[in-house]
Amino acid sequence: ATGANWVPQGLPGAGNILYFDLGYDRSDYFEENMLMDCNDKVSSDICPNDCNVEAGIIQNYLSVDEFVPEMSTDGSYPTTYVSACEKFQNPMQLSWTQPYVHRFTPRKGGAQRLENGNTLMTIGEAESDANGFVLQEITPSGDTVWEFRNTVHMTTTAVAKRYGTSFKGFTDKTLDPIAVACI
């Protein structure tokens, strides 16, 4: 996971943690028919531990996830660290998730809850877009509001942020658009 952040007060899901899951080895999350075809998406030398080349499937896909952090009575967050090669284990139930079974990124990504309740997702290095990047606003039900794809080879971004018109940095600034982006 990457880009974890607290959902700010005043926004839907306030106090929850929102994060971008790169999604390595997620075979236990969805049914086999939702897994991607390894031969169509990525070669086995890129993900030798996560591809089942004989079966023709790859178990990697990204998602944006949100959960309510469990808190101990002393105000701390219980976590058990297993080893350097294993994940932190913290029993949690996702309060919201948006999986993208046909997209994968080997690194970089982020998510931001917006004032309107939607979520801005950054796919920092989109494997399916010739290593460009993707910005996408999605509704709580998973519908895409808009999407921007930068397919210029060798361009990536770690995370994008959207600022509302009430952002203090915009005070006394003209916010008229000067160009229209092709979205």
Give the integer Cα–Cα distance in Å for 163 and 170. 9
Question: What pTM was computed for the model?
Answer: 0.66
* Residue for token pair 């607290």: 6
* Residue for token pair 């399916």: 128
**Pick from 168, 64, 166, 60: nearest CA to 115:** 166
Name the strand (E) or helix (H) holding 18.
strand 17-21
pLDDT in tens, 45-67: 433 344 443 444 445 677 888 98
pLDDT of residue 165: 77
Indicate the pLDDT class of residue 118, thresholds 50, 70 and 90. Answer: very high
* Mean pLDDT along residues 138-157: 83
pLDDT in tens, 91-111: 567 888 887 756 666 667 889
Torsion sign over Cα 160, 163, 164, 170: negative
Residue 33 vs residue 119, higher pLDDT:
119
